[in-house]
Amino acid sequence: MTASGVPQCGTPGAYYRHKQAGERCDVCWAAQAARDRARIRDNPRLRERRVAAQQAKRRRLRAVAEPDAVPEAPVFLGDLPCRSGDPDLWFSDAQADIARAKKACYACPVLGACRAWALDHPGEWGIWGGLDRRQRRRILKEAA
């Protein structure tokens, strides 16, 4: 505590004071994150809950990636719409190009596998698995 009675940054009281005020103090946030990690590490019950939550998140992401993630028959990569067409179509900012790229994705035999990869790499630019960057972020946010 400081002389004025306000908790010093890095202490639990300061973290909650910042949180109530709607502020984000990086010192307090890092200290609280370290306390949370230690609490989860030291408490087997909390650790089990965290592992279960992580597994549930992975299951939700796999379900979004569609059950047919692996094509039934072997696919020649040269036959895929993204490999045989105009490569700029998949990375365009024009709404018409984005719509054409998504439409081509929906007929692709590896849509599920492509979508699963895209959800594992959300920062990638362009259309992947029939989803643009914004849609992938939304799916990941909802799955969290």
Residue-level pLDDT, tens digit, the chain, 144 residues: 455 556 677 777 777 787 788 777 888 778 888 888 888 788 888 888 888 887 777 766 665 555 455 545 555 666 777 877 777 888 888 888 888 888 888 878 788 888 888 888 767 788 888 888 888 888 888 776
Q: How far is CA 124 from the centre of its chain?
A: 11
| Residues in contact with 109: Cβ distance below 8 Å, sequence separation at least 6, in sequence order | 71, 73, 75, 80
As a whole number of angstroms, the distance between CA 39 and CA 12 comes to: 13
Determine the pLDDT at residue 19.
77
User: What are the boundaries of each domain within the chain?
Assistant: 1-42, 53-143
Total residues found in the chain within this entry: 144
End-to-end CA distance of the chain: 36
Interhelix angle for 44-64 vs 26-42, to 10°? 100
Determine the pLDDT at residue 63.
59
Structure letter (DSSP) for residue 128: B
Tokens of residue 33, six digits: 């994150």
Nearest to 101 by CA among 88, 86, 90, 114: 90
